[in-house]
Amino acid sequence: YNLEGAKLLEGKGYTNIEASLYDGLQVLYMSLAQYDKAIYYGEKAVSVGRILKDQNPLAVALNNLSLSYMEVDRLDKAKVVLGEALIISQTIENKSVEGSSLNNLADIAIRKGKTEVLKGYAEKSLLIHREINSMEGIAISTRCLAIYYLHQKDFVKANEYSLAALKITDEYEFLL
């Protein structure tokens, strides 16, 4: 139904609705592992989002687009859109997108083996997610810190953070 709605509204001046529909399609195709389609709709969501005065849909679409880029190993593109999502989220004070963008930057650091920047992203994200009480965000940030300490061969801290993340995921039934 989102696809039909997007086709009906495209180019008719309903940019606020179009941005959300395209982003919804992006997330749908991402969940189906159809990343080319996810990227197509993600880029459309970003393009339409740039027209809007409300920057929230743009920040969300950029953050989501980074995930699709990461899945097809376009890490540099993912990092660029995350940088923009981070700046926008800080400007409009959207802590949820800010924390999520930082977690996604931490994920890129893990994938690239750049553990020297991983800790900074994870710690900032953890502070933000604690501030807004996002248990899923806390779990992801904590897992990133566990990975950081594992790479540092600090197995005690790695274990502590791993167990903390596992406790949250079990308690809230998250799949990370």
pLDDT 10s digits, 5-47: 555 556 655 567 788 889 999 999 999 999 999 999 999 999 9
pTM score, whole prediction: 0.90
The sign of the dihedral angle between the CA atoms of 144, 87, 28, 133 is positive
Two structure tokens written together for 83: 């940088």
Confidence of residue 73 (pLDDT cuts 50, 70, 90): very high
Encoded tokens for 59? 């920040």
Tokens representing 8 are: 């009906």
Three-point CA angle 46, 36, 74, nearest 5°: 75
Question: For residues 157 and 142, is the Cβ–Cβ distance under 8 A?
Answer: no
